[in-house]
Amino acid sequence: MMNILGLESLVFGVLDLEACHQYLKDYGLNLVEKNERGGTYEALDGGTIVFKLDSDLSLPKANAPAPNIRETVYGVPDQNELDKISLELSKDRDVTIDHEGTIHTFDDSGFAIAFRITRKRKIIAPHVGVNAPGQEPGRAVNECGVSIENINKTPRSLSHVVYFVPDHKKAEAFYAERLGFVTTDRFINIGPFMRPAGLNEHHSLFLIQSFNSHMVGVNHFTFHFGSGYEVLRNGWEFSQKGYKSFWGPGRHVMGSNYFWYFNSPFGGTMEFDADMDLHDENWTPRAMPMGSDASQVFLFESKNKWAPGE
């Protein structure tokens, strides 16, 4: 069993560098590097988005038109795990190792994947507490849950990525049999939600069956925020800056996470996400037909602000 800890970085080939810089800045990620070739932005735990022009020769081979994802990077705890993955995948595909020790290859659907010793760090952020009658208070007395002046704008960690794949059964088998991913739930005839063995979040990967030539590459990707409140408030401010809402805000059934999706310059939508379910080996995967009833337990539509008397 491979002890893969989860996502470390997503790498994109894009067409408009400045649009990508502004988008990730407004989304709330912290700038790590900006240069003439692209940029790197990170969450509080060090999970990153990296982007370069689609024509950059340092990017892995594309499997979909630009803009789109060019590589998904996973973290492992130590060199022993890296060696195990390299040995396993080298059985039937080319595996390369760069000067930093990261291994690179492609999955069975043509997506570039990479593995490195984790660079994640401890998240330093305010405690998120909820006051619910009948249980211990989540916040101290006189500690307010809302501040007009202050809001945690920076996401905490890289959450998940979603691919359109030509054969969801073949794609699932690769991640399960070769890399030890666990299927937590699935949409019938559409594809599985999967988590690596070293992570107990509902999913870091979702595979969606492609039914036509337009369904290629990345569907969406997201970072975890600290609460549903952060999703709603940060998403609201994001929409006020002119970014077009694609779906949400709402709350999913599979994973239970709050969501709000926006169109992005990265080829797929980018989501605000919070409060995902955790699972272990005792969880029994569910199977549901894909549709609105199985995708969301509620869905709002963004409207202009309103107050009594306005």
Domain assignment present for 254: yes
Region 71-94 average pLDDT: 98
If one counts the domains in the chain, the total is 1
309/189: higher pLDDT? 189
The arithmetic mean of pLDDT across residues 151-168, rounded, is: 96
**CATH code (residue 176):** 3.10.180.10
Residue 306 pLDDT = 58
Domain span at 98: 6-121+153-299
Q: Is residue 59 part of a domain?
A: yes
How far apart are the C-alpha atoms of 267 and 111, rounded to whole Å?
Answer: 14
CA distances from 24 to 77, 237, 266, 305 (A): 28, 14, 10, 24
Instruction: Give per-residue pLDDT as tens, 7-32.
Output: 999 999 999 999 999 999 999 999 99
Q: How far from the centroid of its chain's Cα atoms is residue 247's Cα? A: 16
Name the average pLDDT for the chain: 94
Q: Is residue 130 part of a domain?
A: no
Phi-psi region of 15 (alpha: psi -120 to 50; beta: other; left: phi over 0): alpha
CA distance linking residue 263 with residue 220, whole number of Å: 9
This prediction's pTM: 0.94
In this prediction, residues 291-305 reach a mean pLDDT of 70
Residue 308 lies in a domain: no
Residue 96 belongs to a domain: yes
- pLDDT computed for residue 240 by the predictor: 93
Q: Is 302's pLDDT higher than 90?
A: no
Residue 309 pLDDT greater than 60, yes or no: no
Does the pLDDT at position 82 exceed 80?
yes
